[in-house]
Amino acid sequence: MLAGSSPDELAMIGISVLALAANVWCLTLISGHRDKGVHMRASYIFSANDVLANLGVILAGVLVTWSGSPLPDWIIGGLIGTMVLIGSIRILRLR
């Protein structure tokens, strides 16, 4: 970001699509067990955040391609970081 480099939007989209498929599969496996203990609720929160992050990276890649600017990547990356922080606080508060 400081050097002014631009993200490789096709790599962003391609890798995130693969990660999205894996994370949706994991979330599906976990969802039936999320009420069976704190560790399963934490796993569900973590996996749901991964799915949302993958969708965000795909959106950022599309917006970077469309706009020709790295700004969407920076903004969505900041939003994903905030989401991860909120998710980690939720996990730490589980009982």
What is the C-alpha to C-alpha distance for residues 56 and 14, in angstroms, rounded to an integer?
Answer: 13
What is the C-alpha to C-alpha distance for residues 35 and 86, in angstroms, rounded to an integer?
Answer: 20
How much is the pLDDT for 1? 66
How much is the pLDDT for 9? 87
CA distances to 19, 21, 59 from 16, in Å: 5, 9, 10
What is the C-alpha to C-alpha distance for residues 47 and 83, in angstroms, rounded to an integer?
Answer: 12
Report which residue type is found at 70: P
How much is the pLDDT for 3? 75
Average pLDDT of the segment spanning 18-36: 94
- Say if residue 19's pLDDT is above 80: yes
Average pLDDT of the segment spanning 2-21: 87
How many Cβ atoms are within 10 Å of 76's Cβ, its own excluded?
20
What percentage of the chain reaches a pLDDT higher than 70? 98
Q: What is the pLDDT of residues 57-86, one digit of tens each?
A: 999 999 999 998 889 999 999 999 999 999
